[in-house]
Amino acid sequence: MGYVQIQEVMREFIKKHWGTNKKCAEELGVTEQTVGNWIRKNPRGILKHAPEIVASKNTTFLQLNGEVEWREHELKELLPIREGEV
C-alpha cells in the first residue's frame, strides 16, 4: 500500500501552540491519548475546546476549524492511497 506525503497539519498546530501533546493535554484538561486521537482519527474533537484555545493562543476559530477540516481531508482522502492509484 502506498502513501502520499501529507503535512499532518493538526500535529503541527499542536506543536506550534503547545510544543508537545503532553503540554496540550495538561492545558486543556484531557489525556495525551485524547490529543493523539485528535491527530490520528478524530480532529473534530479539539473543537470542544475552541473557546479556551482561541482565548489563550494566538489563533482564531476560523484558523482552528481550518486545521480540523484539512486534517479530516487528509484522513479521508489522502490516507491511505493504494498502490496504482497514485
Q: What is the pTM of this model?
A: 0.80
Query: pLDDT tens-digit profile of 22-73?
Result: 999 999 999 999 999 999 899 999 999 999 999 999 999 999 999 999 999 8
Q: From CA 62, how far away is CA 17, in angstroms rounded? A: 16
Alpha-carbon distance values, 85 to 5, 12, 70, 71, 80 (Å): 14, 27, 21, 21, 10
Please, which residues have CB within 8 angstroms of residue 63's CB and are 6 or more apart in sequence? Answer: none
Q: What is the pLDDT of residue 7?
A: 58
Please, which residues have CB within 8 angstroms of residue 13's CB and are 6 or more apart in sequence? Answer: 64, 67
Q: What is the pLDDT of residue 1?
A: 44
Select from 30, 22, 17 the least CA-distant residue to 57: 17
Q: Lowest mean pLDDT of 11-20, 29-38, 61-70, 74-83, name the range.
A: 74-83
